[in-house]
Structure 1
Amino acid sequence: MCNSVVLGVDIGTSSTKAVALTLDGQILGIATRTHQVDRSHPGRVSMDGEIWWQEFVGLCTELSPHAPGGFAAIGASGMGPTLMLCDAAGRGVAPAALYGVDTRAVEQIRQLEDAFGAEEIYRTGDSYLSTQSVGPKFAWFRQHDPEAYAAARTFHMPASLLVHRLTGAYVLDHQAAGQCSPLYDAARHRWIAERCELVAPGITFPRLAWAGDRAGEVTRTAAAQVPGLRAGAPVTVGTIDAWAEAHSVGATEVGDLMLMYGTTMCLVATQDHRVRHPSMWGSPGLVPGRWTLAGGMGTSGAITAWVRDLLGGSSYDSLTCDAAASGPGARGLLMLPYFDGERTPILDPSARGTICGLTVRHTRGDLFRATLESVGYAVRHHLETFHEAGIVPRRAIAVGGGVRSALSAQLVSDITGLPQQLTRISIGASYGDAHLAAGLLADTPPLSDWNPVVRVIEPRPEPAYDELYRLYRQLYESTRDIQHALAARHSASAGEPLPDHRATATAPERSVTAPERSAPVSPAGPDTPRSPR
């Protein structure tokens, strides 16, 4: 086993990344494939899921020289919760609807709340329905793409698709299933068969397991088709990227908070009991006995890329330098980062990006500074929401491409007052996937040994940020109706009606109720409900 090489693969919003590691955590190679999602229809953010497999094949081919005998084990993760409708053989029948940035199913949220009761959905699944939920997207396909739905027999997320193509197994991890509201019972760790039959008739649901469990082995067929694959090599069940990212830096212990700086910002807090908040996402963790409360912005890194392109493709280094010179408050500029609607904690798919305070004297550095500060204000809003749910992080660990910008992460600490730990390696989810894969072969050391903390970003006191944060919260409340009206006009200009934004915008007004603390629940056996069409 000493010469064994494992492969970790993560399919993200803007790229797929793979890393080859030895069993003691040594990095042998890293490879990346970039891609784009389809945003051509208002409210829809989709992607051809076949690209996920094609990129996986290319990454295996590139990294195969590091594993002359073939990869000894494989771990996978991907953006989610994502809904890719597939036929019985696991071939896509429609472009996949991505996670909460895809807001197509807002009307279906209302329909399912009417059918099952919003409070009952929250009680059984630890989350209210939102654009993050998978269930309403099943209903959307049934109503708006009946031809594709009629051809569907299964569904996949990025990790489960790779696992299926590699092993033939049809399996999903409990964490991902926990975001398939209203179809998953959080207390019993199983699908709710009656709801699955009503919401997704004709669909066979995958068996459930934990992220690091063995899903199966690489088949001879897959090994013959893809360089670097070894028949019989074990493959993990896998999970959603943010949770694999948390694992990559060891942020999965009770009291940990992971901040993932990516195309979107995601925050995951880990507890030893069920925890929920009406404007956040509650779900099981990566292993039995762990529970998470999570939130995510609709955009974060995506806005910095937009600003860079808007400014003629300026380099991030030069923009960051100019932003640093601008100073706290961006010389009177304030931005709402809701450029693609917003997920948590406002749950408003009709929210829109807002830049307030512009004058002809503002510079590109001011604009970029306001962009970075808007992410900090959004993180502060999330931290306040975690506190409302009774979560005070023991420590916070930052990870993702955004941490390579010293100013970006520093501003988040300055605005929130939150110290952030940085680990030696910030590859991300694929690194966590590789560690889980290594665990199928041998006892692996904890991530703190593989990837120790090397630096802490300490907050720099800046009194102005308290007042600016108050204005940030006030700006949304003051302009929400205008944002919704403009969103409706944008949608109408594209020939598509805008769904009723109230289906999610009212969720934060619900009361905060904490579920009873309970002992860890043993996972139920395979439960694969299916109903006739």
Structure 2
Amino acid sequence: MKYVIGLDIGTTSTIGLLIGLPDKVLAQASRPVTLHSPEAGWAEEDPDEWWRNVCDIIPELLNKGGVSGEDVAAIGVSGMLPALVTLDAAGNVIRRSIQQSDGRNGAEVSELAAELDSAAFTMRAGNGVNQQLIAAKLRWLEKNEPGNFDRIATVFGSYDYINWKLTGVKAVEQNWALEAGFVDLASGALADDLIALGHVSPSVVPPKCASHAIMGHVTQEAARATGLRTGTPVAGGAADHIASAFAAGVTRPGDVLLKFGGAADIMISTAEAAPDPRMFLDYHLVPGLYMPNGCMASGGSALNWFASKIAQGEAEAAKAAGLSLHQHLDRLSAETPAGADGVQIIPYFLGEKTPIHDPAARGIIHGLSLNHDLRHMWRALLEGFAYAFRHHIEVFADMGHPSTRYFASDGGSNSRLWMQICADVLQAPIQLLRGHPGSSLGAAWVAAVAGGLTEDWGGVANFVTYGELVEPNPDNAGLYDAGYERFRSVYKAVAALS
């Protein structure tokens, strides 16, 4: 049996997976990640914490799987993007990463929009002028932390950083580079003038690497830290949302994945690129395909915030029932009717990315009265994300990408209540998945392809089976149609006051 490790540098946790080809999951392990938000709209993490997690996770995987590091044939790493990681000339991390969900750079985005022909930029770079652009993040650093900005010798992403720690080779994976705004879509190459929009030298961005190419090999130092074999090949890696969608079976045009992680993502598989400033554009992991996608700045992170800050008083009751606090809140909220008795939450707690690209947006609780309690607020929060998914589906259709099948993955998909709400709001069946460990599986399969262990992109399907098909309740269609219209209008009304 051939063994491969997939790692995911996620927003709320670092996750590892050990698989045996062709179809065995041998071990899983994870470690929490600290999300720092020292000011409203900020989202930062410590890259060194990611690496410490990796150094803990890999030995645990090997021990659980009964596999020697000598037997691991390849490593693949996925992660959120485009996080900004900066190194100085000595290879030291300059500051905590600025995450993809960070909304501090609104002024810099406006500056770029004033300087550029936005439509031409979108068509050339594949993505619009928005808060995700690394150039906007770099300009913020230049203005607000000039000492740190002046030290920058390397700019890359979360999983690029882990790849460098494993191999000593600096490279940027193709989708980090694309969403960063540094790639000329027509040529597929890094463009010096696009990088220069961040007021840095093009030399600070390492060479671009394809997801399924070998970008380097494990060094002696990394082997000592992880238990891997020196020389183990490391793949270019993958954006977490693209890896998760690929592993879920999103390969046919019109296939859609709803990804319920620390941020809420939505991806659709297409045969053609159709750049649109409202959405992000990525390459599919399968060569020749594309994956337009959207990302909501919060998701599981908003649910975690609600549970820890507002619903902590229910912790003992949850423990007594043998449930997590989230499960307990689901059980309580299942008693409330669809529409949460008029309570509505607009979940823009970190600003919002797609499709509105408004870093100044904030969370809104609307319709709250004295007859409401935690049950209504929790359900309203779940419904808020379902409405946001519906907004994305409408935009995809407007772009010429009709949706045909819906899949759901990652931690939030384990909430049966949330999945029913999403099916009802979308009025479409949602296919749940069994055995889908998330982005780490996609990362592992990319490594298997890169390492020459398989040529079958479809082989990843051996690890995932279909679970329940959640059918929509047609009785809730009208109520949620009205709720969706209110969802859109409340945000517009509040935004007009800002």
**TM-score over 0.5 for the alignment?**
yes
Q: Match for residue 82 of structure 1?
A: 83
Q: Which amino acid aligns with 2:248?
A: V
C-alpha displacement of 1:313: 5.1
* Gap change, CA 1:359 and 1:114, over 3 Å in 2: closer
The answer on whether the counterparts of 1:259 and 1:397 sit within 8 Å (CA) in structure 2 is yes
TM-score (norm 1): 0.86
Which whole-Å deviations, capped at 9, do the CAs of 1:167-209 have from their partners, x for residues lacking one?
222222222211012x221121111112323524234322222
Which whole-Å deviations, capped at 9, do the CAs of 1:329-364 have from their partners, x for residues lacking one?
111211211122111111111111111111111122
C-alpha displacement of 1:276: 2.6
Q: Match for residue 475 of structure 1?
A: 490
C-alpha displacement of 1:326: 0.2
Q: In structure 2, how many angstroms separate the alpha carbons of the residues matched to 1:392 and 1:304?
A: 30
SS of equivalent to 1:58? helix
C-alpha displacement of 1:160: 0.7
Q: Match for residue 156 of structure 1?
A: 156
Give the aligned length: 478
SS of equivalent to 1:179? helix
Q: In structure 2, how many angstroms separate the alpha carbons of the residues matched to 1:114 and 1:287?
A: 36
SS of equivalent to 2:15? strand
The answer on whether the counterparts of 2:40 and 2:350 sit within 8 Å (CA) in structure 1 is no
* Gap change, CA 1:313 and 1:110, over 3 Å in 2: same
Q: Which amino acid aligns with 2:267?
A: V
1:112 counterpart = 2:79? no
Q: Which of the residues 469, 494, 498 maps onto 1:456? A: 469
The answer on whether the counterparts of 1:296 and 1:343 sit within 8 Å (CA) in structure 2 is yes
The answer on whether the counterparts of 2:156 and 2:205 sit within 8 Å (CA) in structure 1 is no
SS of equivalent to 1:371? helix
Q: In structure 2, how many angstroms separate the alpha carbons of the residues matched to 1:221 and 1:418?
A: 51
The answer on whether the counterparts of 2:218 and 2:232 sit within 8 Å (CA) in structure 1 is yes
* Gap change, CA 1:313 and 1:385, over 3 Å in 2: farther
C-alpha displacement of 1:480: 1.8
Q: Identify the range of structure 1 (377-386 vs 300-309) with the bigger mean alpha-carbon deviation.
A: 300-309
Q: Match for residue 64 of structure 1?
A: 62
Q: Match for residue 516 of structure 1?
A: none
The answer on whether the counterparts of 2:267 and 2:293 sit within 8 Å (CA) in structure 1 is yes
The 5-angstrom pairing of residues 373-392 of structure 1 reads 373-392=383-402
Q: Match for residue 321 of structure 2?
A: none
Q: Which amino acid aligns with 1:157?
A: G
TM-score (norm 2): 0.92
1:447 counterpart = 2:457? no
Q: Match for residue 97 of structure 1?
A: 98
Q: Which has the higher contact order (CA 8 A, sep 6+)?
A: 1
1:265 counterpart = 2:280? no
The answer on whether the counterparts of 1:90 and 1:164 sit within 8 Å (CA) in structure 2 is no
Q: Which amino acid aligns with 2:35?
A: V
Misfit runs of 4+, over 3 Å: none
C-alpha displacement of 1:120: 2.1
Q: In structure 1, how many angstroms separate the alpha carbons of the residues matched to 2:89 and 2:463?
A: 40
Q: Which of the residues 6, 17, 42 maps onto 1:8? A: 6
Q: Which amino acid aligns with 2:338?
A: P
Q: Which amino acid aligns with 1:255?
A: G
The answer on whether the counterparts of 2:22 and 2:462 sit within 8 Å (CA) in structure 1 is no
The answer on whether the counterparts of 2:123 and 2:275 sit within 8 Å (CA) in structure 1 is no
Which whole-Å deviations, capped at 9, do the CAs of 1:434-474 have from their partners, x for residues lacking one?
12222224115522222132332221111211111111111
* Gap change, CA 1:197 and 1:341, over 3 Å in 2: closer
Q: Match for residue 404 of structure 2?
A: 394
Q: Match for residue 292 of structure 2?
A: 293
SS of equivalent to 1:325? coil
Q: Which amino acid aligns with 1:29?
A: A
Q: Which amino acid aligns with 1:251?
A: V
Q: In structure 2, how many angstroms separate the alpha carbons of the residues matched to 1:290 and 1:353?
A: 35
Q: Match for residue 22 of structure 1?
A: 20
Identity of aligned residues (%): 29
Q: In structure 2, how many angstroms separate the alpha carbons of the residues matched to 1:313 and 1:400?
A: 27
Q: Match for residue 138 of structure 1?
A: 138
Structure showing the higher helix proportion among its residues: 2
CA RMSD of aligned residues (A): 1.7
* Runs of 5+ unmatched residues, structure 2: 315-324
Q: Which amino acid aligns with 1:114?
A: A
* Runs of 5+ unmatched residues, structure 1: 485-533
The 5-angstrom pairing of residues 203-214 of structure 1 reads 203-214=203-214
Q: Identify the range of structure 1 (115-124 vs 258-267) with the bigger mean alpha-carbon deviation.
A: 115-124
Q: In structure 2, how many angstroms separate the alpha carbons of the residues matched to 1:179 and 1:430?
A: 20
